[in-house]
């Protein structure tokens, strides 16, 4: 089954094995991608005193996509052992790019904090690298590649666990590729992303792979960042008011959700970037401070970069880039600025997962109100793939059993209980007769616990809970997609192709 959500989506991950979610529907998605292409190439609002469409042209040329007429379909994700629902984004960008005679690109966000780097499979869970800073590194680009001994341990452990499986996981090919790439690698990111990219290529996917950390060094990105830094007061006001309105509409009371406001006072203003001190392997929330009538980007140690809203885009980018380089520092975008840059200046259609799609509803408002640009439409997709042998065993329904137990416990089918309820409703409040009826009702409900039907239900619940625990890995949709066999992954690609 394929799920096509409505225009006001409440996206949910598919429940059934092999099901996919695509939003909007494929016909609308093709039309929106073409319309995005038209609107973005005609966007004239200035970004650091350069028309947005001109900055877009430079950004695309920098990543090697100089053909203006050719659509570029993109997605992005932090570097991790992605599950099939995340991998489905790469499938969709390939299928949509083919439909539009365009190209596809995956932006691997190696500037995000390490997450989901445990290789999980039935019976075990092991870190993909033995680098001791795996759980403490500020961004995943700081992680070292696994040692040969650790990679061998991963292969051996998985081989033993999967020896009796009635299918061949492509993880074995992934391990082989990873082992070939590690000797040439300075860190974890290059071999991990390349191994997944080569695996995708073996399945027929042909998207380009870009490391986000490299994109954040481009002149177009630095001009975009300078544009926001130099106007941080107005940006923080728009950003915070948009978040406030969103929380009010969604009934969210926690001021930290979906992310915190930017802190702002007359002499200091937080901006939506991480300040990565590469030389110190640490990061801070970037802020600008006022010195007299001048706003500056301040680094720890009081190295200041003066900001000039009137500067020409690429002159500002060059100055900012040289300053950051001299300080061995980097400005990495946080969630909103990350997708805003990619959607406005690099791609014609951006494919999100469910979480990213929810957050980019806020990004759309900031793009419209602060940048003054019609926000390009984005899309959402995900899929569910369980392990192949899940189909041979029905999934236990603990929730259904709990509901049945509540009905037994509260005597929903007991006519005597219903008689007592009606009698209670017909007697005066606080009367002795009403109290007596209440005591009789609760005595009868307590007796339910000693009856055979309830004890049989308790026995079935205990067995179901044990079976549910045993089935956790089998029905876990968030296992690394390379644990699947090639034909299962191929069938998901075929399903997406059939939709278009």
Q: Give the tens place of pLDDT for each residue, 189-235.
A: 999 999 999 999 999 999 999 999 999 999 999 999 999 999 999 99
Q: Are residues 382 and 410 in the same domain?
A: no
120: in domain: yes
HSE, side-chain direction, 13 A CA sphere, residue 351? 30
Of 128, 65, 71, 123, nearest in space to 97 by CA: 71
| Residue 395 pLDDT | 74
323: in domain: no
286: in domain: no
| Residue 4 pLDDT | 43
**Three-state SS at 197:** helix
16: in domain: yes
Q: Are residues 400 and 455 in the same domain?
A: yes
Q: Are residues 51 and 152 in the same domain?
A: yes
Global confidence as pTM: 0.88
Give the chain's domain count.
2
CA distance 188 to 279: 18
Q: Which residues of the chain fall short of a pLDDT of 70?
A: 1-8, 391-392, 396, 464, 467-471
HSE, side-chain direction, 13 A CA sphere, residue 185? 24
| Residue 363 pLDDT | 96
**Cβ proximity of 266 and 233 under 8 Å:** no
| Residue 471 pLDDT | 63
| Residue 413 pLDDT | 75
Q: Are residues 365 and 417 in the same domain?
A: no
Q: Are residues 109 and 156 in the same domain?
A: yes
442: in domain: yes
| Residue 464 pLDDT | 67
414: in domain: yes
Count of Cβ atoms closer than 10 Å to residue 420 Cβ? 20
- CA-CA-CA-CA torsion sign (415, 420, 423, 424): negative
Q: Are residues 382 and 407 in the same domain?
A: no
> Domain span at residue 132?
2-217+339-390+480-499
| Residue 5 pLDDT | 45
40: in domain: yes
Q: How many residues does the chain have?
A: 500
Q: Are residues 379 and 454 in the same domain?
A: no
Q: Are residues 344 and 453 in the same domain?
A: no
Q: Are residues 36 and 85 in the same domain?
A: yes
- Asked if the peptide bond before residue 430 counts as cis, ω within 30 degrees of 0, the response is no
Q: Are residues 350 and 401 in the same domain?
A: no
What does residue 99 show for φ and ψ, rounded to 5 degrees? Answer: -65, -30
Q: Are residues 50 and 152 in the same domain?
A: yes
Q: Are residues 92 and 179 in the same domain?
A: yes
258: in domain: no
């Amino acid at each position: 089954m394929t799920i096509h959500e409505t225009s006001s989506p409440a996206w949910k991950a598919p429940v059934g094995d092999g099901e996919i979610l695509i939003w909007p529907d494929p016909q609308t998605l093709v039309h929106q991608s073409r319309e995005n292409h038209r609107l973005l190439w005609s966007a004239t609002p200035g970004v650091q005193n350069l028309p947005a469409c001109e900055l877009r042209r430079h950004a695309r040329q920098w990543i090697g996509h100089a053909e203006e007429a050719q659509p570029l379909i993109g997605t992005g994700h932090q570097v991790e052992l992605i599950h099939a629902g995340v991998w489905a984004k790469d499938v969709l960008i390939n299928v949509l790019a083919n439909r539009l005679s365009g190209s596809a690109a995956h932006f691997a966000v190696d500037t995000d904090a390490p997450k989901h780097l445990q290789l999980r499979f039935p019976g075990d869970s092991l870190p993909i690298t033995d680098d001791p800073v795996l759980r403490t590194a500020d961004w995943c680009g700081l992680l070292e590649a696994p040692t040969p001994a650790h990679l061998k341990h991963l292969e051996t452990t998985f081989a033993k666990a999967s020896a009796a499986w009635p299918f061949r996981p492509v993880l074995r090919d992934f391990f082989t590729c990873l082992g070939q790439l590690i000797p040439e690698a300075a860190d974890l990111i290059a071999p991990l992303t390349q191994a997944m990219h080569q695996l995708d290529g073996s399945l027929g996917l042909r998207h380009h792979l870009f490391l986000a950390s490299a994109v954040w060094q481009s002149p177009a990105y630095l001009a975009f960042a300078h544009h926001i830094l130099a106007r941080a007061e107005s940006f923080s006001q728009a950003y915070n008011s948009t978040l406030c309105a969103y929380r009010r509409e969604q009934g969210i009371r926690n001021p930290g959700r979906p992310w915190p406001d930017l802190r702002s006072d007359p002499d200091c203003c937080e901006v939506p970037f991480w300040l990565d001190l590469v030389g110190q392997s640490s990061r801070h929330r970037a802020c600008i401070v006022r010195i007299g009538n001048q706003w500056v980007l301040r680094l720890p140690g009081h190295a200041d970069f003066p900001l000039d809203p009137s500067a020409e885009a690429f002159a500002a980018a060059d100055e900012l880039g040289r300053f950051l380089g001299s300080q061995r520092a980097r400005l990495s975008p946080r969630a909103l600025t990350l997708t805003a840059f990619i959607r406005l200046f690099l791609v014609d259609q951006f494919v999100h997962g469910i979480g990213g799609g929810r957050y980019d509803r806020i990004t759309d408002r900031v793009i419209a109100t602060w940048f003054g640009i019609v926000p390009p439409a984005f899309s959402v997709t995900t899929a569910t793939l369980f392990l192949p042998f899940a189909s041979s065993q029905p999934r236990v329904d603990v929730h259904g059993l709990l509901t049945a137990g509540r009905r037994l416990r509260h005597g929903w089918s007991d006519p005597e209980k219903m008689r007592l309820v009606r009698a209670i409703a017909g007697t005066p409040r606080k009367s002795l007769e009403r109290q007596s009826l209440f005591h009789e009702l609760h005595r009868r409900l307590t007796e339910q616990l000693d009856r055979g039907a309830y004890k049989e239900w308790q026995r079935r619940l205990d067995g179901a809970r044990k079976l549910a625990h045993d089935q956790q890995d089998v029905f876990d949709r968030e296992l690394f997609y390379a644990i699947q066999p090639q034909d299962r992954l191929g069938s998901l690609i075929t399903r997406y192709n059939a939709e278009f």
